[in-house]
Amino acid sequence: MLESFLQYLKHVRHFSEHTLAAYTRDLGMYQQYLEEAGLRSRDISPGEARGFVGWLSRRGLSSRSINRALSALRGFFRFARSHGGESPPPANPFQGIRSLKTPATLPSFLLVEEVERLVAPPAVSFWELRDRLILEFLYATGCRVSELAGMNLTDLDISARSIRVRGKGGKERLAFFGGPAAAVLKEYLLARRALAFTRGPQGGKALLINRRGGRITVRGIQGIVEKALRASGLAKPASPHTFRHSFATHLLARGRDIRLVQELLGHANLSSTQVYTHLDIERLAEEYRLAHPHARRER
């Protein structure tokens, strides 16, 4: 049943590889808990389900990780009850268990000048051109790294400066890019046509390719961002997702409507976007503390 559930998440719900890997780990820990406790999944009670939460906590998992495991188990039992054939579980023991409180954290972001510093180095080779396009697209579109890796040539509308993006749950949306990204894209596409090596099975349709001619991976993009960060000399830590945070923060700082930003990010819930309004307030507070003559004066 566990394998059927994972296949359902992959092929019906269109979960990303990263999310599938996390669910696989969570379900594996659940299986381990059952074995250690001598329990069967279909007979587990709400009390024993709460025991699983304590078991995870004793293993040192964070509140966020425990909440993700609870979400995975709630989904698994819903699936088992509707797809269990003649002997589905009698109830969902995880349904009534509340998620743990998690500390509120604000995402980090790059200043405009820091983004420009990262994308400034000129591209000499094809691969440097590809790397610059990756950085430009991360910032210009605000896409998730998995969405960027999954972009295809046929998704592009160069005249409209837009690209079709497949987000979480297989949902599609349009992402847009401006002049700087469009200029790099034009150079990249011209150079890409001149490549002489044989492309991999995905390389022919993938927008971004690796050195073997196949589709670039999420890890490959992460490595390119890390390399650019080292070359720039910026002391601030950053990842592909930092560009997404920067995209949203900069739009809101310039007065864009939060629901527009929600659509551009592909957020299902407005609450996911609202964190960036708090982020901008923190930025304003820091600017005040740095600039106002009396901001740091002791009375």
Residue 282 reports pLDDT greater than 90: no
Express each pLDDT in 121-173 by its tens digit.
888 899 999 999 999 999 999 999 999 999 999 999 999 999 999 887 778 89
> What pLDDT, on the 0 to 100 scale, is given for residue 34?
93
> What pLDDT, on the 0 to 100 scale, is given for residue 299?
44
Tell me the helix, strand and coil percentages in the chain, rounded to 5.
60, 5, 35
Q: What is the end-to-end Cα distance of the chain in Å, rounded?
A: 66
Express each pLDDT in 62-90 by its tens digit.
998 999 999 999 999 999 888 866 667 77
- Domain assignments of the chain as residue spans, ordered by start: 2-83, 112-291
Domain 2-83 has CATH 1.10.150.130: yes
Please enumerate in sequence order all residues whose Cβ is within 8 A of that of 186, keeping only pairs 6 or more positions apart, or say none: 158
Closest CA to 94 of 9, 33, 20: 33
The C-alpha atoms of residue 248 and residue 259 are separated, in whole angstroms, by 11
Residues identified as active-site:
144, 168, 241, 244, 267, 276
What CATH number should be reported for the domain whose range is 112-291? 1.10.443.10
